[in-house]
């Protein structure tokens, strides 16, 4: 009561809101993403700040209220029955029945506890990221059929109960309320409006008519005039659905709600216009019609036409009906993206407010998802619908701690920064191209099924066949599913949906194309925990052999080969690149990446060194996995670059958490699903989608992530380095480039021109290795420079820019609207600095404009100096500049005049000029070729183009930790201390003499005669394949008379080595089961590795011990021995 003015004395009735403890735990459970509000378990994620979103159309019921039938008599009084039998099922927002709303003894409708329980309501609001909600009574409580004083008291009671509810501590200031009034007595109704405004209500809710009186009735106009005078906004809600036609044709199939209510609202708006109500009322009156204005928007054209053509249809309206659209607002409770588009185009985006009809089952079950994901809305329009219009209409101040972090603002991460999509109008989708894509949250029957199954479902793993609302049968969703999709995270072996999402936009059409998760830092931490568990000691992946890991990666490559077309289409759809390019470059190279590292890793061996003298020993290096590695990949080559990092990380035994670009997420999740099918244990390969500053930052800064490989812009790479460096993580950065191509006048002319067009414009210039500065020789003695420029421009103009799926398309669109704007601004800046656009530029032909896609023509610019913006800054698009040089020294100086140093190319037929390549500041320099990648060699940049190298052994080194093991093989006598104090302490060491311990043992049968015992360990070195009785190597001679090597029997030599080991071990009462470490030396790893493995399995069986296989040039004497062993055994007590 203390919240009310002292001069106000409302007659409060006790309102049992069932407020309970455990509020924070329940909200934490909801924040975890579980849809069922009954899940009350606590969750480690902290409850987020509320969003700024406002739901202005929601209802409530008190848990109990006075027995009005007993107090006033009469019939048709509503009440709530909490006991007795209740219907099963859910009745709105996945909730079961909490009570039955009764009218006398008749059941009216089941209702849920969220009607009166504030905590339950806020659980739903937090789950759906709704910051504030305006509640009003369900129209059944209006009671306008009662006498005026009775109706006034009922209204007063319910208004005070509503105020008590919204001002309870549990409401956290996030609920506001509308009052109800006794319209049967206008004077009392006006008095209640004034009282409720003074006590804190933000507006009033009335029905769309009162009995036979419509909103153009004099009494109701007087009431609305009073609301205008009080500056008190009005929500007009349909009620009392009148029967239509003989026998009440709307009684079946809930048509009273689905047909009657929209018709009632349409009728009331029309009466206000044609009845002259709006002409009689001041423009300051704020009026909103619930449920999107019913059927009025669809029939506006008919009304307008009738007003113009027939005078009798004009009524009292002074202007055509369309000119009254600015006089009122509507809510967004229309449940269909097409209809929301109609509302925005009819009324304007400033007249549409988010409204849900919560908590009833016909309301929008994911509040706000329609406004967040409907196609064609700009960020500004979405903000208007979600909160700005409500804040203005109801005069609400934003919540002090609210955030806007879940708006689908088409945030775009380019290679240098994160920018926000501009508010420029997005083109509407073309209805001729098929149905509008829909969010998984939308309730429209024709769309609901489209994205309901997990997007990443594989063929053969889906699901119960079903017939969809449009009549089509769907039995599974494969990789090639063309509908709107939801790309989820892949964590711990399964797909999961993030609490928030970002819209995906098709670069070729500019249209909405589904959603991708916008994961929080907490969701990323969960994925990292899953990855850490996958590499803990004893886990299947940690204990798996290198060979088995490589087999799984090969299976992944084979699965990718089988799904080549699906992956190519997904890659083209996300990036806008030509489908032909994805088929011939992206997917095949990704398969090659997986196969290459799976084939390389088993043959790497270990670095092995022997030393002699007093410190005689053997040292070898072993590689151990880093643990959890983080992979951050860009949008230009999503699958190509992910597999380049993933394959070596997996074969070396790591677990992976990948954060792809939020613009191109599809193939990463698809690949993770394939990995699970190929046999990767849960948690080994995780994919988490989201924004860089949130999910990406949580990944690179996490202490459990031991290595980070990042490909992207230099500015972002600097932030990654700053985050990772204090924890001394292994770090690989492949960053931006401004790559020069040096063209000498002795080059192979035609081949050079065609090659440079490809190197400049492949993938619309969105490859970090693309040539962007072409330096052409111009010495004044020939016309080479002019001929080259002319030929280059002519070749560029032959390129076909068009839709990705067209077979003749050379260039598709760039990745996003923002990136396109950035490229066009760079071209304009170049022109301002004196650049001459030879072809391309900022304009587009009509055929490309009409697509709505993010197209940029291939552009060639001449006349810029080395200090110009475009010469120095990366554009990352289909733009290239041409610059003259005179001498080799000039070419080198121009090429190195950049803060970048990723790649370069030199084009000449002169062997003498090829040394120019060694003088360029670049990680990779091609001569007379481009993008010719040998996977064994190192790849990376210098200067601001990167840190570290990947490729071949460099990748395996990066994704592993080298550990050196030094084994003393000579005398165990330690070197003396400087004072000679060790000389007299030998016997105190506790080791038996080598000679004494082994005097009865047979001699080793190899190149080195050495058997040493240290404590309970026996060290045997030089165990070769000679047969003791004959001192010959089995399998025949291995040299002919000319000293040439003949074939040998690797299997026979391997078996003999093991027989010799066993013969030595028997002298110490040992067997092969006592071996704890084996080093294998092979002269030809490629030829003999598989053969030795087969003998190993035959001889050793299931016995496990440490083993290292090393390739050596030859084994003494003279290359006669092909295999030799060094072993350590534990001597039984």
Which string of DSSP letters, residue by residue, matches 751-785? HHHHHHHHHHHGGGG-STT-EEEEEEE--SSSSHH
E-strand spans in 445-593?
466-467, 473-474, 485-487, 489-491, 494-496, 501-506, 511-517
Handedness of CA 488, 31, 523, 409 (dihedral sign): positive
Q: What is the C-alpha to C-alpha distance for residues 194 and 192, in angstroms, rounded to an integer? A: 5
Q: What is the C-alpha to C-alpha distance for residues 102 and 81, in angstroms, rounded to an integer? A: 7
Which is nearest to 652 in space by CA: 668, 676, 675, 628?
A: 628
Residue 852, both tokens: 């709505």
Letter string b/e over residues 427-460, b meaning 16 or more CB atoms within 10 A of that residue's CB: ebbeeeeebbbbbbbbbbeebbbbbebbbbbbee
pLDDT over 70, % of the chain: 81
The DSSP string of 845-893 is -HHHHTTT------EEEE---TTSHHHHS---SSEEEEEEE-SHHHHHH
Give the 3-state DSSP-derived string for 211-246, with helices as H, strands as E and coil as C.
Answer: CCEECCCHHHHHHHHHHHHHCCCEEEECCCCCCCCC
Residue 1046, both tokens: 């003949």
Task: Tell me the mean pLDDT in the region 639-668.
Answer: 97
Q: Exposed, middle or buried, 496 (CB in 10 Å: 0-12/13-18/19+)?
A: middle
Residue 518, both tokens: 């916008």
Alpha carbon separation from 284 to 279, 328, 1080 (Å, rounded): 12, 10, 91
pLDDT given at position 1038: 53
pLDDT given at position 240: 63
Residues 6+ apart with CB under 8 A from 159: 10, 177, 179, 180, 192, 196, 199, 201
Task: Tell me the mean pLDDT in the region 942-948.
Answer: 93
Q: Which residue has the tokens 């010495």?
A: 779
Tell me if 871 sits within 8 A of 890, measured CB to CB. no
Q: What is the C-alpha to C-alpha distance for residues 379 and 906, in angstroms, rounded to an integer? A: 46
Q: What is the C-alpha to C-alpha distance for residues 269 and 303, in angstroms, rounded to an integer? A: 11
pLDDT over 80 (residue 487): yes
Task: Tell me the mean pLDDT in the region 39-57.
Answer: 60
In the structure, what pLDDT confidence band is assigned to residue 484 with cuts at 50, 70 and 90?
A: low
Residue 880, both tokens: 């290239």
pLDDT given at position 249: 66
Cα 607 from chain centroid?
40
Q: What is the C-alpha to C-alpha distance for residues 972 and 997, in angstroms, rounded to an integer? A: 14
Three-state DSSP state, 791: helix
pLDDT over 60 (residue 427): no
- Report the 10 Å Cβ neighbour count for 473: 8
Which is nearest to 289 in space by CA: 300, 297, 299, 277?
A: 297
Q: Exposed, middle or buried, 166 (CB in 10 Å: 0-12/13-18/19+)?
A: buried
Task: Tell me the mean pLDDT in the region 841-851.
Answer: 92
Dihedral angle at the C-alpha atoms of 801, 803, 806, 809, nearest 10 degrees? 20
Q: Which helix (H) or strand (E) holds 553?
A: helix 546-562
The count of C-alpha atoms lying within 13 angstroms of the C-alpha of 134, restricted to the half-sphere facing its C-beta, is 28
Tell me if 563 sits within 8 A of 674, measured CB to CB. yes
Q: Which residue has the tokens 């113009």?
A: 308
Residue 1093, both tokens: 């493995």
pLDDT given at position 407: 52
Q: What is the C-alpha to C-alpha distance for residues 351 and 297, in angstroms, rounded to an integer? A: 13
pLDDT given at position 1045: 54
* Catalytic-role residue among 97, 768, 770, 1070: 768
- Per the rule left: phi > 0, alpha: psi between -120 and 50, beta: everything else, 617 is beta
Q: Which of 306-315, 439-448, 611-620, 730-739 has the lowest average pLDDT?
A: 439-448
Tell me if 387 sits within 8 A of 345, measured CB to CB. no
pLDDT, tens digit, for every residue of 663-688?
999 999 999 999 999 999 999 999 99
pLDDT, tens digit, for every residue of 111-142?
999 999 999 999 999 888 899 999 998 877 77
The DSSP 8-state label assigned to residue 734 in this structure reads E
Residue 1033, both tokens: 């190597």
Residues making up the chain, counted from first to last: 1133
Residue 324, both tokens: 């009254």
Q: What is the C-alpha to C-alpha distance for residues 965 and 376, in angstroms, rounded to an integer? A: 63
In the structure, what pLDDT confidence band is assigned to residue 463 with cuts at 50, 70 and 90?
A: very low
pLDDT given at position 983: 47
Peptide bond into 1117 cis (omega under 30): yes
Phi (first) and psi of residue 721, to 5 degrees: -65, -40
Task: Tell me the mean pLDDT in the region 478-507.
Answer: 79
Tell me if 629 sits within 8 A of 709, measured CB to CB. yes
Looking at per-residue confidence, does 437 or 279 come out higher?
279
Which is nearest to 507 in space by CA: 819, 826, 877?
A: 819
Tell me if 156 sits within 8 A of 11, measured CB to CB. yes
Q: What is the C-alpha to C-alpha distance for residues 429 and 539, in angstroms, rounded to an integer? A: 50
**Whether 734 is catalytic:** yes
Which is nearest to 899 in space by CA: 942, 928, 956?
A: 942
Letter string b/e over residues 343-368, b meaning 16 or more CB atoms within 10 A of that residue's CB: bbebbebbbbbbbbbbbbbebbbbbb
Tell me if 283 sits within 8 A of 327, measured CB to CB. yes
The DSSP 8-state label assigned to residue 1112 in this structure reads -
* Cα maximum dimension of the chain: 127
Task: Tell me the mean pLDDT in the region 566-595.
Answer: 97
Tell me if 592 sits within 8 A of 560, measured CB to CB. no
The count of C-alpha atoms lying within 13 angstroms of the C-alpha of 560, restricted to the half-sphere facing its C-beta, is 31
The count of C-alpha atoms lying within 13 angstroms of the C-alpha of 810, restricted to the half-sphere facing its C-beta, is 18
Task: Tell me the mean pLDDT in the region 983-1008.
Answer: 38
pLDDT over 50 (residue 457): no
**Whether 768 is catalytic:** yes
pLDDT given at position 245: 57
pLDDT given at position 1001: 35
Looking at per-residue confidence, does 211 or 100 come out higher?
100
Best-predicted range by mean pLDDT (18-27, 338-347, 574-583): 574-583
Q: What is the C-alpha to C-alpha distance for residues 714 and 695, in angstroms, rounded to an integer? A: 19
Q: What is the C-alpha to C-alpha distance for residues 580 and 583, in angstroms, rounded to an integer? A: 5
Tell me if 659 sits within 8 A of 630, measured CB to CB. yes
Q: What is the C-alpha to C-alpha distance for residues 341 and 330, in angstroms, rounded to an integer? A: 13
Tell me if 371 sits within 8 A of 402, measured CB to CB. no
Residues 6+ apart with CB under 8 A from 958: 648, 707, 709, 730, 732, 948, 949, 950
Q: What is the C-alpha to C-alpha distance for residues 937 and 923, in angstroms, rounded to an integer? A: 11
pLDDT, tens digit, for every residue of 135-187?
998 877 778 788 889 999 999 999 999 999 999 998 888 999 999 999 989 99
* Catalytic-role residue among 734, 874, 944, 950: 734
Question: Across the chain, how many H-helices and E-strands are there?
Answer: 35, 45
Which is nearest to 369 in space by CA: 382, 359, 379?
A: 382
Q: What is the C-alpha to C-alpha distance for residues 611 and 758, in angstroms, rounded to an integer? A: 53
Cα 555 from chain centroid?
25
- Report the 10 Å Cβ neighbour count for 592: 17
Peptide bond into 295 cis (omega under 30): no
């Amino acid at each position: 009561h203390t919240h009310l003015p002292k001069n106000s004395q409302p007659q409060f009735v006790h309102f049992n809101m069932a407020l309970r403890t455990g509020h924070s735990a329940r909200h934490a459970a909801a924040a975890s993403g579980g849809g069922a509000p009954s899940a009350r378990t606590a969750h480690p994620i902290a409850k987020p700040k509320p969003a700024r979103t406002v739901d202005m159309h929601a209802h409530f019921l008190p848990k109990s209220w006075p027995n009005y039938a007993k107090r006033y008599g009469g019939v048709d009084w509503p009440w709530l029955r909490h006991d007795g039998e209740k219907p099963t099922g859910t009745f709105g927002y996945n909730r079961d029945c909490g009570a039955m709303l009764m009218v006398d003894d008749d059941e009216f409708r089941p209702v849920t506890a969220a009607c009166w329980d504030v905590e339950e309501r806020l659980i739903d609001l937090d789950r759906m990221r709704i910051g504030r909600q305006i509640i009003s009574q369900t129209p059944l409580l209006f009671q306008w059929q009662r006498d005026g004083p009775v109706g006034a008291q009922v209204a007063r009671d319910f208004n005070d109960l509503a105020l008590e509810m919204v001002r309870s501590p549990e409401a956290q200031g996030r609920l506001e309320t509308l009052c109800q009034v006794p319209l049967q007595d206008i004077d009392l109704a006006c008095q209640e409006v004034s009282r409720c405004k003074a006590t804190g209500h933000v507006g009033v809710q009335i029905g769309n008519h009162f009995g036979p009186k419509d909103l153009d009735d004099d009494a109701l106009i007087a009431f609305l005039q009073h609301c205008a005078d009080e500056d008190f906004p009005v929500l007009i809600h349909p009620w009392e659905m009148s029967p239509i036609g003989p026998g009440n044709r709307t009684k079946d199939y809930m048509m009273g709600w689905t047909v009657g209510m929209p018709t009632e609202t349409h009728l009331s708006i029309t009466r206000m216009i044609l009845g002259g109500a709006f002409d009689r009322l001041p423009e300051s009156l704020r009026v909103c019609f619930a449920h999107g204005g019913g059927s009025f928007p669809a029939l506006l054209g008919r009304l307008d036409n009738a007003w113009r053509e027939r005078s009798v249809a004009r009524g009292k309206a002074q202007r055509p009906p369309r000119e009254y659209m600015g006089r009122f607002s509507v809510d967004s409770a229309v449940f269909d993206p097409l209809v929301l588009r109609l509302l925005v185009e009819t009324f304007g985006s400033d007249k549409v407010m988010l409204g849900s009809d919560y908590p009833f089952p016909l309301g929008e079950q994911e509040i706000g998802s329609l406004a967040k994901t409907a196609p064609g809305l700009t960020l500004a329009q979405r903000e208007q619908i979600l909160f700005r219009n409500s804040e203005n209409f109801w005069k609400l101040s934003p919540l002090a701690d609210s955030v806007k972090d879940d708006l689908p603002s088409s945030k775009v991460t380019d290679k240098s920064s994160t920018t926000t999509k501009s508010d420029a109008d997005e083109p509407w989708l073309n209805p001729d191209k098929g149905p509008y894509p829909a969010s998984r949250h939308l309730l429209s029957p024709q769309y609901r099924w489209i994205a309901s199954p997990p997007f990443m479902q594989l063929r053969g793993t889906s699901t119960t066949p079903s017939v969809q609302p449009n009549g089509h049968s769907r039995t599974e969703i494969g990789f090639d599913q063309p509908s709107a999709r939801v790309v989820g995270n892949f964590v711990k072996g399964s797909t999961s949906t993030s609490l928030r999402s970002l819209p995906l936009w098709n670069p070729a059409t500019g249209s909405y194309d589904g959603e991708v998760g916008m994961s929080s830092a907490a969701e990323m931490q969960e994925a990292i925990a899953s990855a850490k568990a996958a590499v803990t000691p004893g886990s299947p992946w940690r204990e798996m052999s290198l060979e088995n890991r490589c087999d799984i990666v090969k299976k992944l490559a084979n699965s990718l080969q089988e799904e080549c077309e699906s992956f190519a289409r997904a890659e083209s759809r996300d990036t806008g690149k030509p489908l032909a390019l994805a088929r011939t470059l992206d997917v095949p190279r990704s398969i090659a990446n997986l196969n290459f590292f799976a084939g390389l890793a088993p043959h790497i061996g270990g670095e092995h060194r022997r030393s002699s003298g007093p410190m005689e020993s053997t040292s070898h290096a072993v590689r151990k996995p880093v643990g959890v590695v983080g992979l951050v990949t860009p949008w230009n080559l999503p699958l190509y670059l992910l597999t380049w990092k993933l394959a070596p990380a997996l074969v070396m035994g790591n677990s992976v958490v990948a954060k792809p670009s939020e613009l191109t997420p599809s193939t990463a999740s698809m690949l993770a699903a394939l990995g699970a099918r190929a046999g990767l244990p849960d948690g080994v390969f995780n994919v988490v989608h989201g924004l860089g500053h949130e999910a990406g930052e949580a990944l690179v800064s996490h202490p459990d992530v031991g290595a980070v490989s990042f490909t992207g812009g230099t500015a972002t790479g600097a932030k990654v380095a700053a985050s990772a460096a204090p924890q001394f993580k292994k770090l690989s950065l492949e960053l931006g480039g401004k790559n020069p191509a040096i063209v000498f006048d002795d080059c192979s002319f035609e081949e050079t021109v065609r090659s440079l067009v490809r190197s400049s414009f492949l993938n619309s210039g969105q490859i970090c290795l693309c040539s962007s500065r072409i330096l052409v020789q111009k010495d004044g003695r020939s016309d080479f420079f002019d001929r080259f420029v002319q030929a280059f421009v002519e070749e560029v103009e032959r390129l076909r820019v068009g839709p990705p799926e067209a077979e003749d398309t050379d260039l598709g669109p760039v990745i996003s609207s923002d990136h396109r704007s950035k490229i066009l601004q760079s071209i304009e800046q170049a022109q301002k600095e004196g650049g001459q656009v030879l072809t391309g530029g900022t304009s587009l032909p009509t055929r490309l404009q009409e697509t709505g896609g993010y197209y940029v023509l291939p552009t060639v610019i001449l006349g810029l100096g080395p200090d110009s913006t475009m010469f120095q800054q990366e554009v990352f698009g289909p733009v290239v500049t041409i610059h003259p040089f005179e001498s080799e020294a000039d070419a080198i100086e121009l090429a190195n005049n950049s803060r970048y140093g990723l790649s370069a190319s030199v084009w000449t037929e002169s062997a003498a000029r090829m040394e120019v390549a060694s003088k360029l500041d670049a990680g990779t320099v091609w001569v007379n070729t481009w993008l010719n990648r040998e996977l064994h060699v190192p790849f990376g940049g210098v200067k601001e183009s990167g840190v570290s190298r990947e490729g071949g052994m460099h990748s395996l080194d990066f994704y592993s930790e080298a550990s050196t093991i030094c084994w003393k093989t000579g005398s165990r006598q330690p070197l003396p201390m400087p004072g000679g104090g060790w000389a007299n302490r030998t016997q105190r060491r506790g080791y038996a003499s080598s000679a004494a311990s082994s005097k009865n043992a047979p001699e080793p049968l190899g190149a080195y005669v050495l058997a040493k015992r240290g404590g309970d360990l026996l060290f045997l070195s030089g165990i070769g394949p000679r047969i003791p009785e004959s001192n010959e190597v089995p399998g025949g001679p291995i040299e002919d008379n000319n000293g040439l090597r003949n074939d040998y029997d690797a299997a026979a030599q391997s078996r003999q080595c093991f027989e010799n080991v066993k013969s030595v071990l028997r002298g110490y009462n040992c067997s092969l089961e006592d071996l704890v470490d084996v080093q294998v030396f092979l002269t030809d790893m490629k030829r003999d590795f598989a053969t030795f493995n087969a003998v190993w399995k035959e001889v050793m069986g299931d016995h496990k011990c440490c083993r290292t296989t090393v390739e050596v040039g030859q084994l003494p004497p003279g290359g006669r021995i092909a295999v030799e062993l060094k072993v350590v055994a534990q001597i039984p007590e």
